[in-house]
Every structure is written in C-alpha cells, then in structure tokens.
Structure 1
Amino acid sequence: MSRNRRAAGAVRGPSSALTSFLANLGVEPSHRITTWGDTSGLNANPTDDQPTLAHDEPVISPQDQLDPAGAVTARNVVAGPSQAGDGTTELQNENKKRKRGGGSDDDSEYNEPDAKKTRAASVDSDDLDAEDPSPNRPRKSQPPIATADTAKVTPGPLKPVGSFMDCGECTKRFTVTVYTKEHPFIPSTYLCVNCCYALGIDPFAKVKKAPQKKKLPGKKEDRAKVVHYEQKKGVSALGDLCIQIIGKYIEDVEQLGDIGGINMDKVCKIISKSRRLTAETAQLFYSADREDLSMYDCTRLTPEAFITISKLCPKLQSLNLQLCGQLSTDAVTAWGKSLKQLKRVELFGPFLVRKAGWLNLFKSVGKRLEGLLVTQSPRIDLETIEVLVKSCPNLIELRLAEIGQLNDDCLAPLQSLKKLKTLDLSAPGSPLTDEAVIALLSKIGGNLETLDLTDNPDLTDEILPAIIAHCPRLRRLYLRNVVELTDEGVSAFFASLKKQNRPGLEWIDLEKGHDLKDSSLDALLAHSGTTVEKLNLLGWRDVSNDSLGGLAQCKHLKELDLGWCRQVTDFTIKDILDGCNEIESIRVWGCNQLTDAIPRKKGVRVIGVESHSI
C-alpha cells in the first residue's frame, strides 16, 4: 500500500497518532516518503512528479538523517520487501554509534537552523516510538514554550461552550468545550487539545469547582418578609392560650359554654382567619340570649346557615357579617320576620341579595333600624333608597359604599335623614359632584360626626367651605383619592376651622393628595395637631422634611401613614417617636431616604422600610 503524497492538497491515507502530532507542530516531510520500492527514490530529483516542502535543501544520506532522539525520519524509512534487512542493519549500526557517544561527521548539521526545516514526518509509529537513549541531550523537534511576552493571540475571557477560539500556543482555531484549559504561561489564553498534550496537560481532566459555603441552619433570608422594628414579646396570657387551642381544634368542640362575649369574639376571629367558619362550626356562636353577633369570614357559610341565624338568635340587635357572598334574598327576608329587636346591620359583599330582599327587610324592621352599613351590593338602586328613607327615618349610621347604581339622583332622598351621625358614600358607581354633595350636607350636616367621600374624583375644593358651614360636629373626615383638592384649598379649610375655634379632628385621611404641600400640613397641625389619632398622608410627595417634623407635636397620634413622602428621613422618624407618646404604628412605604439606622422604640411598628424588604 502506497502512502505517497501525490500532489499538494491531495487526500492522504491513514497515519499514526505520532505522525499527526508532529504535523500539528509544523514538522512536515521534505521529500517523498517511500515505504515500498526502490531506495533510489531518496536521491531522486524532488521535482520528478513529487512535490517537496524544501526544494533548496541538500540531499542527505539516510544515515545522516537520524534526529537527536534516535528516531527514524522519512528519509531513512526506505525499507521495502527486498531491502528490509539492509535498512534495519544500517539503523542498528547507527544507534550503536550513538550509544557509544560517537557519530558521523555530519552530526553538526542538526545544530544548524536549516537542518531543522528538513526533518520529515514519521511514517510508521512503530519506528518512532523508540525513546531517546541519551536523555541529557535536548530534543530539537519540540517547539519553545510561549510566554506572556510572546503571546500570539489577544488574551480574553473564555467564550461559551461551542464557540470558536484561537489557541494561545499554535494560534489554530478550536471549539470550546467544558474541558478547555487555560495556557499555563500566558493568562487569559486557552489551548487546543493537541497543545495540551504538547505541554503535558491532560485536556480532559475535570475542572475542580470551588467548594460552596454551607449555609448555617436558621440563617436563610426570607426576602418577602417585612421587618418590624419592635414586636411585642412576652408570655401570653393563659386565657389567650386556651382560646388559641379552641380555635385550632374548633371542629372537635361540642360546646363553648359561657366564656363571655369578648372571648367568643376572639375565637371567631381565629377560626375566621383560617376560613374554618362553616355551617357546623358557626352553630357554636349561636345562642338564644345573644344580642351582638359578628362573623368575620362567612365565605363557607351556606344560604341555609344564614337563615339559621334568625332561628337560633332571636334577640339579636346587631349583626355583622363580612364576606357574606352566599347570603340570599330568603335569608334577609327571614331576618326581617324573626329578628324583632334588630337595630343594626353591617354586611360586606351581599352580592346575591335582590331588591325584593332589601325592600322586605326595610319594611319589616322599620323605625327600629338605626344602622345600615352595606358595602358592595349591585342591587341597591334609587327605589330601594327611597323605601329605606321612608321606612327607616331614625337611621344614625348609613354606609352605601361601592354601590354600583349610586349617583347624584340617589342623594336627594337622603336629605330626609336628619339624625345621621355617620355617612359613607365612598366609591359610587357614578362619581358624585360638588352640587349634589353640598345640597345633601346642607340638610343633614348638623349632626354629622363622620363623613367619608373617598374615591370621588370629581369633587373639588368647593365642598370644603360647605363642610365648614354645615358640619360643626365633624370629628372624622375621609377624603382619600379626591385628587382635585389643591394645597391652597386644604390649607384655607383648616385655617378657617382654626379661626372659628372648631374642635380638632380625630381621624384625617387625605391619601393621594399629590398637590398638597407644606402649607396644608402646617395648617392641619395648627388646628388638629393636639387631637388627631389617625393621620394618612400617603402620596404627599412634595411636603418638606421641616413640615413633617411638626408631627412631633401630635401627642395623641396612634397611627401614621407617610407612604411616598419622599423627604422622610431617619431624623423625621426620630422626632415622631420622641414627641408622639401614644404612637403605635408608622407606615413608610416608598420613603427611600430611610436607612438601616432608623431609630426604634419599644411597642412601635415601623412598616415598609425598603432596605428591610429587599
């Protein structure tokens, strides 16, 4: 089988691993390689149909072409079927000379630079696997090791697996793998597989990963948890522990007995929080002598369970049901017939109660009804309100919050309710206007103590003088999301109250007052600073730190919301904590100037510090 290179770029036959290794190092044969045939081909003219890589090199005898390691080169591999013995004998004789320290006169040619170029690639790996008999003699075929000063490629980071990079040693392109190794002498350059072998590096060695630090138990951070500065700690009372156990095993309790109304209410809150208030567990709170009943999550109560209330609690005077989405028209009608002492009804989410149920309830209860507080009912309309006013003229508390059909026309019948002390008309289906609200306040404002006009974006500063003129007993004012209020109007409102020596307000909600600034806050504190207990200033983005410092004079302040007041600092909180002796909670969502060094106070919760929630 012939392995001759017929022409440049021609397809080569199979070669040994060592042949490929030398070829990758740039060692190529300079003359034709003959494995079988006449040995005269070594001295033949290289231009006779045989291309060569060194046309100008002198022809050297086979004996002179041994490399320093004693390996056989392309020029001395001339053994054929008829001359194998001769070739082997010559090689053995030459090796013996080298072992004795001798050599031919032409050995000096191997130290010349031109002689290095004439070395040819090996043909057979069996002939080239012989080890160097003289280890102290340097190998001339191994290229010099590159250094940082002789870097052939531009250093850079390792590219992703599958990308192409230039080898830092031979500059050839190779494919990056998970085993790609860095050059030992040139940082930030990487080696191909062949150069790894040449430099004595295992190209397929696994990369050792740095050991990960073990996380200590109990140190895992919960980023969704908001840190409160001061939490009340201590031993729970024995009664509270018993109530918690009852709430935990409420399904197994057959009878609560006489534990008092306050403890009964605590148990109801505990099981409502976990939504275990069902038709079966609700019967534990029914009693023939109960006058007040509050259930805080009635999601799992069936319509029949609501009807049962009227049968098992006939003496009820106040009924409070939250999240009563399954309350039916029949249940409300049954209440009107069976609850002969009912005076106050508070419902959140009675979506299924139709107009007929409301009309039957109002007509049955009649003048006894003093409080009707309904939130989220799509069935209450103008006719229902007219029947309510006509049948229940003694109403003291009225809440029609988030009523879809409530509009300006529904306010006209309400002008007959002269005894109202609490009025809530927040978030109506159609926003109320200044004219309708002013007309209503002029008729019923004399006894009002609480006014809630939240989420009425069409209201403006015009209602503020009407509140001053018609609501002399007002103690709680909610104007949240009334975005048309201006700084001049609010400051003039509190200044007028101060001028008329009106008593200060206790609860003030002016959330989302984006246009309210220092003058509004200064006037508010001048009038109600000594009486306010709950204050909501969320969204007052332009109020200054100096004005916020005046909150320290609010001696009775318990709850404060400073969300998105951008000028709040650690010193502002310190002044509030030092001046407000009754403060219990401060909300500071969006106050991005607060740090971890914010002051603390026992018994006070500061909620919403960004550095604690991220």
Structure 2
Amino acid sequence: MVADCLQGAETAAFQYPGPSNNISAAQIRQDYEQRVSQARQQNEQQANGSGDNSNDNEEGQNGEDQNEEMAEAAVVSANTRKRKSQAAVKALKAAKQKKAKGDDNDDARHLNAMVNRRKSGNALPGQFDNCEYCKKRFTVTSYSKTGSGGGLLCSPCSKKEDLQDHQSKKISANKNKRGRRQNVSKILDGIVQLGASSLVESCIKKVADHIHDIEEFGDLPPDLVLRLSHILSKRRALTSRTVDLFLRGDTTAVDIYDCGKLEEDDFQKIFATMPFLERVNLRFAGQLKDRPLEYMMGHNTSIKHIHLDAANLVSNECWQKLFKTYGSKLESLRLSNLDSALDDESVAVLAEHCPNLRRLKLDTCWLVGDGAPTSIAKLTKLEHLSLNFLRETSSEAVLELVDKLGPNLRTLSLNGFKNADDAVLDKIHERCQQLSKLRFADNCVCTDAAYARLFTDWNNPPLIHVDLSSTRDVDNRNPDGPEEPIGLASEGFKALMNHSGKFLEKLNICSCRHISHEALSTVFDGTHIYPVLKEIDISFHTSADDFLVVSIFKSCPALRKVIAFACFGIRDANIPPNVALIGGLNAHHTTLQQDSMRVIDQMF
C-alpha cells in the first residue's frame, strides 16, 4: 500500500512542468529522494520489529499509519505544486499577450521610475522629500509622480496633475474631432484646401468666433460682410443682437441667409435702418408677416430686387399689394418655399403690374398651378426663368410658356413638370437660341430620342450649366427600362457632350440610370478633354466604378467637385489634389487621408 502511494507521488512529482515560486527542479528531486529514503527506512524497521511482542505490533501499526499519512501528504503537495505551476504558466502567457499588445508592466514602470529617480538625485521610495509644487514634506512611494521641473509630487498634487493631463488630452481629442468635422463640412461644400487658410479667411473666422463681443464692423468691405453672413448663417448665430452688425444706413443691399432666429420686429428694424435698399435677400424668414412688408412698401421705395424664402405668414392680399406697389420698378423676384399663400391669382397680378421683370423664380410654391404658366408667359422681358411647381401642370401650358418666352431667355429651369412630353423639348430646340443654362429635371415622360434631337444641330451656343437629373423611367418592375429608353440615356448624353462638352462648367446627370457604362466610358475616355468642367454629379449611377472616376479625372483637368452618392463601385479611386469626391464607399476616409498626405508632402 505504501509502495503504491509512493509510486503515485513519484508520478505526480515528475509531472511538474517547470520552476515556479523559487522552487528549482533540483530541489524537487532532492525532496523526493529524501521522502523515498525515509519511507524505505520505516518499512525496514517495521519488518525487523514485527515479531518481538504485541507492543511492537501496535508500534508497527502506528508507523504504517504514519507512512500512509506521509504518502497522502506527498500526493497532496504534488497536486498543489501542479496547480501552482499551471497558474504560473497561465500568468506567463497573459504577460506575453499583454506585452504583445503594447501594454506597460506596472512593476517595470515602477522600477524604471526608481532608476530614473536614482539618476536624477530624487529620494527613493520610503524616504522623505519636499513636494515640488506645494513644498510639503511627504513620504516617497513608487507611485509618486515627477513634476515639470523634475522634482517629486505629493499625492494631492499628483492627482491635480493627472486631472490636468486628462483635461488636456480631452481638449486635444475634441480639437482633432472638430478639425475632422470641419474638413468633412468643407468637402461637402466642394472645398478641398491644402495647407493653412489665407490671412483674410483666418481673420474672418476669428471675427465670427467672437461675434458676440463685437460692437460694429466699421468700414469692412461689402464682400467680407457677405462672407461673414455666410459663416454666421451656417452656424445659426444670427440673432436679434448680431443682426444689428449688418445694418448700415448707407448701403443698398441686405443679405441674411438665415433669419430663423429673428422676430417680426427685427424685420421692421431692418427696413427702418436701411432706407436706401435696392436689394432685399432674406432666407428662412419664418417670422416675416404682413406688417413688416407693409412698412417696407411705405419707407423703402427704391427696391428693385426681392428674394424671400419661407415667408409663409404673408397673406395673398399682402403679396398682391407688394406687386402693385413696386410694379414696373421690380426687376428681379425670387420666392421659394411658400405653402400657404401665393396662388394663381397672385401670379396673375404679378404679371399684370410688373412688366419689367427680367428674372423670376418660383420654387416650391404649393398653391401655384396650371394657370401660372399662362400668366407668366405675358412677361415678355424675362431673361431668366426658374419654375418648380408641386401641382401638376399640363404640357400645353408649358409649350405656350416656352413658345412666347423662349427667344429672349438666357437661362431656363423647369423642375418637376411631370406631364411635359417630347413636344416641350422640341419646342426648346426650336425657340430657345440664347440659353447658357438649362435645367429640365424630375421628368419620366420624355424619351432619349427627344433629348438627342434637342442637342443635335441646335443653333443655341454651347451650354455652361446643364441639369437633367432624375429624368428616367420609374417602373421598378423593369429596372432596365423599356426598349425605347425613357429619360436621358446613352444617345442623348453623347449628343449633349458633343454639343456643349467643351464649354460645360457644371453637369448634373444624377439618377439618369439608363446611361450605360459604355457611353460614360466613351465620353470620358481620357482623350476627349473638357477643359472648363468644374463640377459633375453622377449619383445613383450603379455602373460607375473606380475606372470611370479616374477617367473623368483625366478628361476634366479643371474638375473641383464630384458628387457620387450611392455609387457603390467607387471604392479606392485615386483622388487628384484639389478635387472633392462626395459619396462613394470610403470616399470620406480616402479624401481626408490624401489631404493629410499632401500636407506632409508640402512640409518635406
């Protein structure tokens, strides 16, 4: 029995995997041999004294019990050492993993701190020293921090130092985050800036940062005042207090691009402070009502240009009074986002009393319908026309409008006229001879053949700005479209680029999904050069890929902005300097990375 126990102890002992807790293999072997020799000696003594007397039998039995207890203790000790060795192996593996991840070991860090203190002459742990900051005497530990001057810090000062370090890291992280956000905002605006901003731009932004501490702009040039208005409007910082900075009694124009925080009295204050106004441009004017406009009609008699956005609290009667008051003086009128006023009757009053209008824009006016184009057709001096109605209008009304106004128009924008058919495009081809800008968007009736006829043998000079977005078949059950393509497709796109490609500056073919990849690759093949094209929108062209984007870059040397939302084939395109790619997979990361690489290249 004892031999079996010793054999088990021997087996357990030799399963010990390695040194741990200052126990060497030699020591384990020596302890084992000692226990085996003691057990053999006890067996020999029991064998020699087994027949002497009954007392010896009792002593032998007691000895045997003791041997069994010793053997069991040996087995338990071996198992304990085995568990400790396994724990040591696990700890060793964890330490290796921690080291592989780059984490510092606390003991090593404290040891390095002690070595540095010894080199620097500072007190060692357990000794006394005076705090570098508060000069109090304290007991130095291995965790004592070092101050900025090289001395040691007490526990309270160490906590303050840690808090300051944490706050500085947080501020730095916020700055980096804000910088990335500003870069993305610039990219969405089509701005890719290399290096630092100009001195003028930096000064303007600094003024905008402290706008609440500024009393007046002084003799700041009008273009810089306009730039400040852009920045503050984007930040939603134009309030009743800051708007006073833009009110000058001797100026003839007011441009406020975000009036969302202005009240009714603020608008009346604008008109009272600036009596010589000729141009009024107020965007998001949700609190503009009849009373401020009536005040403007009575005190600002020189107004020639009006641009009002989201003025939904102005009544139809007030609009009609406005048109009658300014009448023939009015040269430019832009009204947008009106959902509760300005109906067909008001448009008729406009056409009757404002015959000298040269620019008219009615964008997203909910109550304007089929009667408005007939009234607008009477404004024969119009040179710039932009219409976007939410109500459906007939193709005949649009034909009459184009037929009467076409010969004098320089820009034409028809957005959302869903019933306009091929006859409208043919009429534009026939009557319009001076267009530099054409927008015919959001239509699913006109065919690709009509677009091809429009741009083939057209006496109109090459266009500078073209927007034919969302002109496509909308039958989701047939994504490839009918046999005869609906909307701008391959042939119409080729005809457009043959007619105006050399002079185009801005092109929008968003959602024209029937333009094939072959047609796009043929137009942008790297050999056909479009020298002045600066902005192109190819969003929702599922066939667009990295090859096509690179070809566009080669064919358009002046390109500054490419919009490619939902173009999932664009992944790792090499973006040239000064070009903003908006959309596409990884476009944000790629643009920021290349922008930083360009800055690094400039530094070296």
Distance 1:600 1:237, change over 3 A: closer
- Are the equivalent residues in 2 in contact too, given 1:371–1:395 (CA < 8 A)? yes
Contact kept in structure 2, 1:329 and 1:356, CA below 8 Å = no
The answer for the alignment partner of 1:108 in structure 2 is: none
Q: Distance in 2 between matches of 1:421 and 1:485?
A: 25
Distance, in Å, in 1 between the alignment partners of 2:466 and 2:86 is 77
Q: Does residue 582 of the first structure (1) align with residue 518 of the second (2)?
A: no
Amino acid of the structure 2 residue aligned with 1:69: C
Question: How far apart, in 2, do the equivalents of 1:334 and 1:251 lie?
Answer: 29
- Deviations along 1:527-554, whole A, 9 cap, x unmatched? 1112211101122334224234158432
- Of 310-319 and 266-275, more deviation after overlay is shown by 266-275
- 3-state SS of the aligned residue for 1:456? coil
- 2:331 is matched with 370
Aligned pair 1:420/2:396, yes or no?
Answer: no
Instruction: Supply the distance in 2 between the matched residues of 1:134 and 1:380 (Cα, whole angstroms).
Output: 101
- Is contact 1:530–1:555 with CA below 8 Å preserved after alignment? yes
Q: Any conservation in 1 of the 2:469–2:508 contact (CA below 8 Å)? A: yes
SS in 2 for 1:402: strand
Give, in angstroms, the shift of residue 235 of structure 1.
Answer: 4.8
Residue equivalent to 2:600: none
Which residue is equivalent to 1:99? 42
Residues 411 and 501 of structure 1, relative CA distance in 2, 3 Å threshold: closer
Deviates more, 1:462-471 or 1:542-551: 542-551
1:480 to 428, 437, 441: 441
Which whole-Å CA distance do the structure 2 matches of 1:500 and 1:96 have between them?
Answer: 116
1:280-319 CA distance string (max 9 Å, x none): 2212222222112111111111111111122111111111
Q: CA deviation at 1:128?
A: 11
SS in 1 for 2:365: coil
Residue of structure 1 in register with 2:585 after alignment: 610
| Structure 1 residues 271-420: aligned runs within 5 Å | 271-378=232-339, 379-420=341-382
Between the aligned partners of 2:425 and 2:312, the Cα distance in structure 1 is 34
Task: Say if 1:585 and 1:316 are closer, same or farther in 2 by CA, change over 3 A.
Answer: same
Equivalents in 2 of 1:387, 1:202: separation in Å? 92
1:561 aligns with 2:497: no
Question: 2:308, 2:426 → 1: CA distance?
Answer: 33
User: Partners of 2:285 and 2:176 in 1: how far apart?
Assistant: 40
CA contact (8 A) 2:429 2:455 kept: no
Aligned equivalents of 2:281 and 2:72: distance in 1? 104
After superposing on structure 2, the runs of 4+ consecutive aligned residues of structure 1 that deviate more than 6 Å are 95-98, 126-129, 194-200, 214-225
The answer to whether the aligner puts 1:573 opposite 2:549 as a matched pair is yes
Shift of 1:96: 9.5
Tell me the distance in 2 between the aligned counterparts of 1:435 and 1:577.
Answer: 42
How far the C-alpha of 1:390 sits from its partner, in A, is: 1.5
> How far did residue 245 of structure 1 move?
2.5
Q: CA distance change for structure 1 residues 130 and 268 in 2, over 3 Å: closer, same or farther?
A: same
- Residue 453 (structure 1) aligned with residue 414 (structure 2): yes
Answer yes or no: is the 8 Å Cα contact 2:419–2:445 preserved in 1: yes
Q: Structure 2 counterpart of 1:410, which letter?
A: A
* Aligned residue among 223, 246, 252 for 1:262: 223
Indicate how the Cα distance of structure 1 residues 230 and 390 shifts in structure 2: closer, same or farther if over 3 A, else same.
Answer: closer
CA offset digits 1:130-158 (Å, max 9, x no partner): 221897xxx8x9xxxxxxxxxxxxxxxxx
Paired residues of 1:337 and 1:364 also in contact (CA < 8 A): no
Residue 607 of structure 1: SS of its match in structure 2? strand
- TM-superposed CA distance for 1:432, in Å, is 2.2
TM-score for both structures, normalised by structure 2? 0.66
Is the Cα–Cα contact under 8 Å of residues 196 and 202 in structure 1 kept in the other structure? no
- 2:142 alignment partner in structure 1: none
Aligned AA (2:493): L
1:497-508 pair list within 5 angstroms: 499-508=457-466
3-state DSSP class of the match of 1:446?
helix
Which residue does 1:23 correspond to in 2?
none
Structure 1 residues 98 and 317: CA distance shift in structure 2, 3 A: same
The residue identity in structure 2 corresponding to 1:324 is A
Per-residue deviation, 1:103 = 7.9
Residue in structure 2 matching 1:519, options 488, 491, 514: 491
- Check whether the contact 2:435–2:460 (CA below 8 A) recurs between aligned residues: no
2:426–2:453 Cα contact (<8 Å) kept: no
- Distance (Å, rounded) in 2 between the aligned partners of 1:133 and 1:351: 95
Equivalent pairs: percent with the same residue?
A: 26
- Counterpart of 1:494 in structure 2 is 455
Secondary structure of the residue aligned to 2:259 is coil
Residue type of the partner of 2:43?
R
Distance 2:350 2:39 in 1: 126
What is the CA–CA distance in structure 1 between the aligned matches of 2:309 and 2:432, rounded to whole Å?
28
Q: Does 1:240 align with 2:201?
A: yes
Preserved CA contact (<8 Å) 1:530 1:554: yes
Q: Which runs of 5+ in 1 are unaligned?
A: 1-64, 71-94, 105-125, 142-193
8 Å Cα contact 1:349-1:375 kept in structure 2: yes
* One-letter amino acid of the counterpart of residue 504, structure 1: P
Quote the residue 2:511 is aligned against: 539
The Cα offsets for residues 394-437 of structure 1, whole Å up to 9 and x where unpaired, read as 111111111111111222222211111122221x2312221111
Q: Which has the larger radius of gyration?
A: 1
- Verify the 8 A CA contact 1:556 1:580 in the aligned structure 2: yes
Q: In structure 2, what is the equivalent of residue 161 of structure 1?
A: none
Q: How many residues align?
A: 447
> What is the alpha-carbon distance in structure 2 between the residues aligned to residue 613 and residue 390 of structure 1?
51
Equivalent pair of 2:433/2:459 in contact (CA under 8 Å)? no
Q: Distance in 1 between matches of 2:2 and 2:222?
A: 111
Whichever residue aligns with residue 398 of structure 1, its letter is: L
Residue 121 (structure 2) aligns with: none
Kindly indicate whether the alpha-carbon contact (under 8 Å) linking 1:422 and 1:450 is maintained by their aligned counterparts in 2. Answer: yes
- Could you say what secondary structure the match of 1:242 adopts? helix
Q: Matched residues in 2 for 1:364 and 1:605: separation?
A: 46
Question: In the alignment, which residue of structure 2 is the partner of 1:441?
Answer: 402
Report the secondary structure of 1:453's partner residue.
strand
Partner of 1:113: none
Q: Which residue type is aligned with residue 396 of structure 1?
A: R
Equivalent residues of 2:309, 2:335 under 8 A apart = yes
Whether contact under 8 Å (1:223, 1:613) holds in the other structure is no
Shift of 1:444: 2.0
Q: Deviations over 1:504-535 (max 9, x none)?
A: 11111111234533212210111111221110
